[in-house]
Amino acid sequence: MSNFWKEKTYRPENEGYGLFSTEYFLVLVGAMVIVVAAILLFGRMKQNQKEKLCRIFAWVPLGMEILKFIVLFSQDCYTSNYYPIGLCSLVAYLYPIYAYTNNDKVKKAVRCIICMGMFPAGLVTLLFPNWIGHYPLLSYFSLHSYIWHVIMVIYPIWTWQKDREKLFFQDMVRGGSVIILLIPVIVLINKCFGTNYWFLSEPTDNHPLAPVYRTAGAGGYFAVFVTIGITIGCLFGLLQNVLFMKFLSKDPSKQ
């Protein structure tokens, strides 16, 4: 198999590049350019075109997940650490539900999860990527991770441009409750399989809360991480209602 596709098991240790390195900043700038271009181009589309594009991209993460499964399975590397239940993996299920459901309450609640949870998760992961120390930039798993998280940033903003509707409190509660109820399930899975989904067991490479884990231990880290996660979600919801409604409430395609 080409070196491009190899999982880290078959790569030299520390083959990648470091946080705040030249490669890191170049890729971050490139990601920002792609995000801005996607927002500007989407804003010029007609409403029916926006609907179609959101439906098309709703399936992109699921397709990427299937391809990753094939790549891992072909290398005999598909272990419990790669199950599609990570926090960022939720977009593979949330985007199709948002794009295709006819239930207005479900659609709004899912949109709240996408905007309040997936958006900040994608943004933070791009700022503190935990794969860069294991993979060179031009490798499958590196590019997969960058594309995945760039979509996590773009898609929520597209929902604002398309729907032009703020996030309502009752929908935030419904969406947030789903995430909170899933936390014990993920904790149980982590204990059973020795995994670290949602980073609930411990911080990974480049995690911004790694110092908390080192000083407060696993229990303190878990409490701080969940509290900060919920707080960030709420703040992002309120902030988006203020900023995005101001700049994205008008439809440029009709001006």
Higher pLDDT, 58 or 241: 58
**232-249, pLDDT tens digit by residue?**
888 888 888 887 766 665
- Residue type for position 84: P
Q: What confidence score (pLDDT) does residue 93 get?
A: 97
pTM of the model: 0.89
Q: What confidence score (pLDDT) does residue 204 get?
A: 76
Q: What confidence score (pLDDT) does residue 250 get?
A: 58
Tokens 């006819």 — which residue?
Answer: 102
For the beta carbon of residue 104, count every other beta carbon within 10 angstroms: 9
**125-134, pLDDT tens digit by residue?**
999 998 998 9
Average pLDDT of span 68-89: 94
Question: Across the chain, what does the average pLDDT equal?
Answer: 90
Q: How far apart are CA 250 and CA 255, in angstroms?
A: 9
Percent of the chain, pLDDT > 70? Answer: 95
What is the dihedral angle through the alpha carbons of 125, 215, 82, 23, rounded to the nearest 10 degrees?
40
Q: How far apart are CA 244 and CA 181, in angstroms?
A: 28
